[in-house]
Structure 1
Amino acid sequence: MKQKKEKQIRTVGKILFIVYILFLVYFLLFSDWYGRTGPAGEYRYNLILFTEIRRFMEYRQTLGIFAVFTNLAGNILVFIPFGFFMPMASKYKSLGGTLVYSFGVSLCVEVFQLVMRVGCFDVDDLLLNTLGGVLGHGLYILCRYIRRRHFAGKGE
């Protein structure tokens, strides 16, 4: 019974992970709402850690709360599901694996943005996205702990 339940959870996790990845690809690379209206005329990039984070904090009054939230918290929030669903959908459940894969996917997105000139390659985004993946993994661990405590001794 326990193996069957684990397999069902993994199947649901895989489906949700695929749906999330499709959403992520669309939202980060093609969404008009996020400013992906077409290629820019030049390559845009930031290779100095904390430059954009500092800029958004310093000019938060001028840029507005929505722009600051979208850039800072949004980059974290968009990767929380990645960190949550990845261990649920795969055999690899370690924090280290989630950290590496979160960074790797974020790096792929940033490189794609640079090469296609949609958005900006930003090392701050790498940091924030990876942090989001790690927070999502923490949420996965918490939910797994609660589920196991709740169902302990109930025949699962």
Structure 2
Amino acid sequence: MLKKFYKIIILPYTLVLLYLMFLGMGRVQYEDNVVRIEPVLSTIWYIKETIRWEDIIRVVLGNVVMFIPFGFLGWLFPKFNDLKTLLFAFISAITIAEALQYFTRMGIFEVDDILMNTFGVILGFFMRKFVEKRFRNWVF
């Protein structure tokens, strides 16, 4: 049951996420290409410079939580039942998306985004394993 729902929802979910990454949330095109490659430091800087906690939670937690569903990709593609294979494919894809944000100037290429997004996928992978064990009758 859950697998069927996942198979239906993951493509529209991915399209909405891509929309948010490039056009949503009031995005405007930057005048310059921006890249932030210092891991963790740009997130710490963002937290220090942001006044509203809602913005911090939305950006930092959102960068993790929004990518949890991609940890379940093994339900669609059996080769992604292996964490290393899943991570290689995901890190490649998210790096391309970050590069597209940089080249289109519709976002910033940030290593922290790649790290947080990847952490979300890892969480999703282990959540999937837990769901498969605990709720076996609901999954299939």
Deviation of residue 69 (structure 1)? 1.1
Partner of 1:75: 63
Equivalent-residue separation in structure 1 for 2:46 and 2:32 (angstroms)? 22
Partner of 1:4: none
Q: Secondary structure at the match of 2:78?
A: coil
Equivalent-residue separation in structure 2 for 1:145 and 1:23 (angstroms)? 30
Runs of 4 or more above 3 Å deviation: 8-13
Instruction: Name which structure has the greater RCO, CA cutoff 8 Å, separation 6+.
Output: 2
In structure 2, list runs of 5 or more residues that go unmatched.
none
The aligned runs of 1:13-28 (5 Å cut-off) are: 13-28=6-21
Partner of 1:36: 27
Partner of 1:116: 104
The aligned runs of 1:124-139 (5 Å cut-off) are: 124-139=112-127
Deviation of residue 9 (structure 1)? 6.1
In structure 1, list runs of 5 or more residues that go unmatched.
1-7
Partner of 1:140: 128
Bigger Rg over Cα: 1
Are positions 1:96 and 2:96 aligned together?
Answer: no
Q: How many equivalent pairs are there? A: 138
Equivalent-residue separation in structure 1 for 2:92 and 2:5 (angstroms)? 23
Equivalent-residue separation in structure 2 for 1:14 and 1:105 (angstroms)? 19
- CA-atom RMSD, angstroms? 2.1
Are positions 1:87 and 2:74 aligned together?
Answer: yes
Identical pairs, percent: 25
TM-score, normalised to structure 2, is 0.86
